[in-house]
Structure 1
């Protein structure tokens, strides 16, 4: 874990840095110093790998922090955080030895983890370079062995020509030792930086002190361009003054930083040009609204910022806002709801809103997306009305058909209606959706429609049926299917009607289906049919009562009837006191 010392006496800015680093999944450990005394004490202890400091502090400033850091821990990189308008001070600090500076805004602070890693890496490489230079001064042969073993590119030049390059330099540039021997030290530098490298390299040899570290692009032998972090120093080589340079390939980190910057710009452009209203609220007020939301609500650019969100919401819908906020306070990461809002011109529109909690400029905020759903909601309400009318019409038609069947069998009048009520109740006990329960009820109204083709004398026969009569009676599920199969319903009504006398063990009719082959709706109606038949009067016997009916389905649980359906029916009648309608 990388040990960070954060010099900051403002709690808000402490939290800003903590949040930026916590997003890195435990890679950083942060210790806060609020005073110069804290700073000295903590730097006296080993382990600090990077210092992050504000430039403007309460009783002291960042330049004092830099001086102490250079005195006590010269090898620990220091990154300054600065507000807009303080960039000149930050640049001076960089010249004084600071590793980097970052502007203190959410858009820039997210670069802090990358900047820390780069600063530590640069310091590490700079230390390696210095150690290599010291080793060169002690013994050139030892230097060569060390230089060739490091991943950092190291080269030495005097005048305009290279006099030493290590293997890492060959790897980074693609040029060989012989190539370098014939090159001027600036020849492999990109034309954009070539004059800079030449001027500084020659000036250093004249005793001047140009910046020791900077980033430049090079052109490899194969034409590929790479970024390097270059550090220069003086060395005595074979008794004469020369320049030693170290270089680290930072192409990937530079490209990552550029991708991040481009991504941020693209993200902002997407938000600004989005066809969805987007906004940020903080403490119940708008902190940001994109042009689309401003247009939806009829406000001029920037006019929404600072306004209370509740000022725009229709009074009757304020509880919706309160409920959403309560969900977020309770720990929900996001909310979704619809509400009515007032445009600036007084018109009322319906908005669909989705919101998530995040950090915005260092404080807790909600980012929301809003769409005008007024027309969609109106269309949905109209469709719902049509569906209700259609269902009412369908229910009336099915009742009329049921009445036709019952006119031919007066002894079972009301049977289909009672089966429908029981089937719907069992469906609810099973946790089925209400629309599915209504389908059970409507299907039950015509589950015996096939009996319309059975002679009345068989239907109302007071005694036992003959084998032939029983075969005729058993044909009614298939007959019902044949009647209904050409009629289009939103659910498999005809199949359910055909299967309501099927049994799990295959002993039912007309198809002898087993287990999962039987639709759940048919299993439910089958159980409701048995309950109603046993508990009601029949021409060949009196009512046997609901108790006998429940015993019958209990005996057949798992063999004839679905276990979950039987269990639901038993709970319904025995535990909850449900009774069949009269």
Structure 2
């Protein structure tokens, strides 16, 4: 149900009041009416009745319309007033409107009262709606401004040429420039020359395609000269007609994160170097006990790495393989030196002892936190594709590819080199051996890569 209009009428003549009420009803206006005659009653009704509109006579015995209008303007400016009077000069009419009356109606033309009320109410609703929208906009802008100015990130806008048109105050905390100093510059003016050169083409491409971008890292130069790493995200701005007007975005300081990454990288390199030195020390210790095989592990590592590269393994896997191959015979450190350097063939007990070296090597390094499964590579390097290897008797689908590569490299190097119980058989004999056992003892893909590497690519192992 529509709420009735509350009309406060300041009128001392009952017949005039009845005529005015009749005109309002004729206009189809649903209303509740309160009529007052005195100043005190008028003021009280404003607070208690809380009218939507006031119809005021211009002349009353102890209170006139102009005084009423003045009171309303100062104390209840939201309530519209229409003056209803018997006679009014043009000068007085102008004075009323200037004083704040929304309209005036002559008593001998009351037929106009209904439409005047409807017009004034419609106009007031529009004014109130506009004021409410303006208030909401101001509050929204204040909230947005508070948010922008309280965040630690830098909010910005650039025009279609990439020139800053707005910058939040946080740019001073990040780069040492005030918002006023940034205005008129481009992002590249704040970057280091190298970063500007690197990103200019990419940023121009983004702007030409009018697309969003996220987490674009760039190096900026603080006003004091130090480097500041920022992470930039932005979205295109279009006007009401869909015309591109620039970008609005945010920059976040990631300097601490980048410095932490640098430190982690430096520590990783240091750890890597320490790891290499440790593995080299282990390899040297093993080979010192077996002078006949000095350099064997290193040469196996070189051959294995070359095979892996021929097979297209990643650099990281090749590096891990090299490290494992460099210590694949680590377990021999627990085998008596006289067995390792025995000139004749080993008896069954001695051979079983030698066969234990993959498991021994695994046990020595299994608890070391390598970033790769090096212990498993060492453990499996004597396994064979048909399950005839040791120590676990694994078959091809159970053996790591890296271990199968070490197995082939180990055989090629060992057969090519001198041993206490026989002279070196040469590279050709070694390649013939892995070719004969291709698919039986050794993985076919590994064998093919090894053969191709030596015979087609003319790989040459450095002299011992």
User: TM-score if structure 2 supplies the norm length?
Assistant: 0.60
**Which residue of structure 2 aligns with residue 399 of structure 1?**
280
**Which residue of structure 1 aligns with residue 257 of structure 2?**
376
If asked which structure has higher relative contact order (CA below 8 Å, sep 6+), I would say: 2
SS at match of 1:384: helix
Are the equivalent residues in 1 in contact too, given 2:236–2:247 (CA < 8 A)? yes
**Which residue of structure 2 aligns with residue 423 of structure 1?**
304
Are the equivalent residues in 1 in contact too, given 2:385–2:441 (CA < 8 A)? yes
State yes or no: 1:341 paired with 2:220. Answer: yes
Runs of at least 5 residues in structure 1 that lack an aligned partner in the other structure: 1-186, 197-201, 209-260
**Which residue of structure 2 aligns with residue 492 of structure 1?**
373
**Which residue of structure 2 aligns with residue 226 of structure 1?**
none
Structure with more helix by fraction? 2
Structure with more strand by fraction? 1
Q: In 2, distance between residues paired with 1:337 and 1:558?
A: 51
SS at match of 1:339: strand
State yes or no: 1:511 paired with 2:392. Answer: yes
Q: In 1, distance between residues paired with 2:330 and 2:277?
A: 15
1:163-189 CA-to-partner distances (Å, cap 9, x unmatched) read: xxxxxxxxxxxxxxxxxxxxxxxx1x4
Relative to 1, partners in 2 of residues 1:337 and 1:516: Cα closer, same or farther, differing over 3 Å?
A: farther
**Which residue of structure 2 aligns with residue 459 of structure 1?**
340
Q: In 1, distance between residues paired with 2:248 and 2:384?
A: 56
Relative to 1, partners in 2 of residues 1:207 and 1:393: Cα closer, same or farther, differing over 3 Å?
A: closer
Relative to 1, partners in 2 of residues 1:509 and 1:359: Cα closer, same or farther, differing over 3 Å?
A: farther
Relative to 1, partners in 2 of residues 1:497 and 1:355: Cα closer, same or farther, differing over 3 Å?
A: same
Relative to 1, partners in 2 of residues 1:302 and 1:420: Cα closer, same or farther, differing over 3 Å?
A: same
Q: In 2, distance between residues paired with 1:290 and 1:347?
A: 21
Give the deviation of 1:577 after TM superposition.
Answer: 3.6
Give the deviation of 1:367 after TM superposition.
Answer: 5.3
Are the equivalent residues in 1 in contact too, given 2:416–2:426 (CA < 8 A)? yes
5 Å matches for 1:92-491?
187=1, 189=2, 195=5, 206=27, 273-281=150-158, 282-301=160-179, 303-325=181-203, 328=206, 334=213, 337-343=216-222, 345-355=223-233, 358-361=236-239, 362-363=243-244, 365=246, 368-491=249-372
Are the equivalent residues in 1 in contact too, given 2:164–2:182 (CA < 8 A)? yes
Q: In 2, distance between residues paired with 1:439 and 1:494?
A: 11
1:438-492 CA-to-partner distances (Å, cap 9, x unmatched) read: 3322222211011122233432344444333322221110111122234343333
Give the deviation of 1:511 after TM superposition.
Answer: 1.0
Are the equivalent residues in 2 in contact too, given 1:349–1:372 (CA < 8 A)? no
SS at match of 1:350: strand
Q: In 1, distance between residues paired with 2:244 and 2:390?
A: 69
User: TM-score if structure 1 supplies the norm length?
Assistant: 0.49
1:312-363 CA-to-partner distances (Å, cap 9, x unmatched) read: 11223332223533764897974755433222x3232331434466444432
**Which residue of structure 2 aligns with residue 73 of structure 1?**
none
Q: In 1, distance between residues paired with 2:204 and 2:310?
A: 32
Runs of at least 5 residues in structure 2 that lack an aligned partner in the other structure: 7-22, 30-136
Give the deviation of 1:285 after TM superposition.
Answer: 2.3
**Which residue of structure 2 aligns with residue 92 of structure 1?**
none
Moved more, 435-444 or 412-421: 435-444
Q: In 1, distance between residues paired with 2:397 and 2:148?
A: 51
State yes or no: 1:581 paired with 2:462. Answer: yes
Give the deviation of 1:518 after TM superposition.
Answer: 2.5
1:233-283 CA-to-partner distances (Å, cap 9, x unmatched) read: xxxxxxxxxxxxxxxxxxxxxxxxxxxx9xx98988766654433444443
1:370-408 CA-to-partner distances (Å, cap 9, x unmatched) read: 332333333332332233222222222221221121122
Q: In 1, distance between residues paired with 2:145 and 2:408?
A: 62
Are the equivalent residues in 2 in contact too, given 1:499–1:510 (CA < 8 A)? yes
| Number of positions where the alignment pairs a residue of Structure 1 with one of Structure 2 | 332
RMSD after superposition? 3.8
